[in-house]
Structure 1
């Protein structure tokens, strides 16, 4: 890996980034990794996607021609580099606390023909966030391709991570009468290979229609504050051999089972509105 930003974040830069994250619900971090690192990531995603689609429950739909797959960390050759990146570690520690946990590794793949998703959150707002305006989880996204306007870019409504979700269906899907506000706030993101973003999954967002003939795979790394409880929704594990290769600084945040042999993951992310393929703008 060759990354232009490998030193620890200066305190002023960290404060600026975490302030933007609290205000917008998302921050973008350009050129975190070089393009060769991302090409290897894309190869690993392609291999995991093919394996997952070859068996029942290996991938879950998130709308027409759109899939999510959760994987084990060692299916990514660059796992340790990603979770050790100073941007990731500094922001995770500042927002979630020094004992944050790595609870999810997966990827979304919008294929050609994917339609607009309904506006949504990835899960209902936790009580801690609703009562105290504290974020207890973050999602790190890494694009495996250069995102072009016709590839169904990710669209997000900054600042909506604090919206009251009591009227949201399943706590995740806002009513359609709220859509005009999200369209007004919406920003489309066009990350390039090497860029990463860190966001609150509570910030209302959607994938848009992919009018191209190409897929747009995006890695998802889920981080939790201690006690957030989202680890119960995931089946991440590592083998003893892989565990032995990880730096202690990574092991300290990886609380998943250490096993002799990995079991293929059966997906749990059956998100009602997305699986039904609702669309709307």
Structure 2
């Protein structure tokens, strides 16, 4: 492991999140946003194309071929080093998608993205990561991502669906909360178990964020996703990408019907 990967691993195990500012140029991030906007327009035009994550807030899963910078992202030295450091050398790329909090999105309830797995509960081992890349330079009015550092190991039996702390516990997360203001080209990596929420977007600008999900071999999150690649695309990928990309190779891509619904986020405002 490199020194930066060691530091990132320490950050993730201590705080639940780390970051690499300026990993890409703003122009690279602008192309990413163009691809997100194209996929988002398509997703909204078909049933099941986008899943709600609260009022005016959506999640869309896409195929690697829909993102021109996919290979750039999954071969970035910081990304590969952090994946190996936290998840081991046989890590698996299982998810590619994006969140779009539109103007009018409200505060989400505090949550984690899935119930705590046994590997974390019994061994205190994190076996998945979520990498995020913003499509805009984030400012307060856009409703920045808010996270409660150090809560990735919280294991309370009264979490609804294993993900939602009861409201009487929210004050602790408010006191711990840190808002993030990434800029175009930055990458963050976090445990999706760390308690977090999106905040209200009171601006007139959407705040699209790319999501790359990566697992250790035992995590099993690939079952939640339908990412695929065509044969020609697969053949053109570097071997270093094929080694970690665990998805079907198909003759033609089929638009993904979203199934990664997080119950409780679609119900409305947090308060």
TM-score, scaled to structure 1: 0.95
1:273 matched to 2:264: yes
Q: Is the 8 A contact 1:65 1:112 kept in 2?
A: yes
Q: 2:193 aligns with which of 183, 195, 202?
A: 202
List, as ranges, runs of 4+ consecutive aligned residues in structure 1 with deviation greater than 4 Å: none
Q: Is the 8 A contact 1:124 1:165 kept in 2?
A: no
Matches of residues 60-99 of structure 1 in structure 2 within 5 Å? 60-99=51-90
TM-score, scaled to structure 2: 0.99
Matches of residues 124-135 of structure 1 in structure 2 within 5 Å? 124-135=115-126
1:165 matched to 2:167: no
Distance 1:175 1:123 in 2: 16
Which residue pairs with 2:212 in the alignment?
221
Please state whether the residue corresponding to 2:71 is helix, strand or coil.
helix
Q: Is the 8 A contact 1:42 1:144 kept in 2?
A: yes
Q: 2:96 aligns with which of 101, 105, 108?
A: 105
Distance 2:243 2:94 in 1: 12
User: How far is the alpha carbon of 1:14 from its aligned partner?
Assistant: 2.1
Matches of residues 13-92 of structure 1 in structure 2 within 5 Å? 13-92=4-83
Q: Is the 8 A contact 2:152 2:191 kept in 1?
A: yes
User: How far is the alpha carbon of 1:241 from its aligned partner?
Assistant: 1.1
1:245 matched to 2:236: yes
Q: 1:139 aligns with which of 130, 145, 155?
A: 130
Which residue pairs with 1:5 in the alignment?
none
Aligned length: 271
Q: Is the 8 A contact 1:125 1:165 kept in 2?
A: no
Q: 2:111 aligns with which of 108, 114, 120?
A: 120
Which residue pairs with 2:146 in the alignment?
155
The Cα offsets for residues 92-139 of structure 1, whole Å up to 9 and x where unpaired, read as 011111000000000000000000000000000001100000000000
User: How far is the alpha carbon of 1:16 from its aligned partner?
Assistant: 1.7
Distance 1:20 1:186 in 2: 16
Distance 1:193 1:165 in 2: 36
User: How far is the alpha carbon of 1:78 from its aligned partner?
Assistant: 0.2
Distance 2:257 2:2 in 1: 41
Q: Is the 8 A contact 2:127 2:219 kept in 1?
A: yes
Gaps of 5+ in 1: 1-9
User: How far is the alpha carbon of 1:12 from its aligned partner?
Assistant: 2.5
Distance 1:100 1:278 in 2: 36
Distance 1:165 1:268 in 2: 26
Distance 1:186 1:99 in 2: 33
1:258 matched to 2:213: no
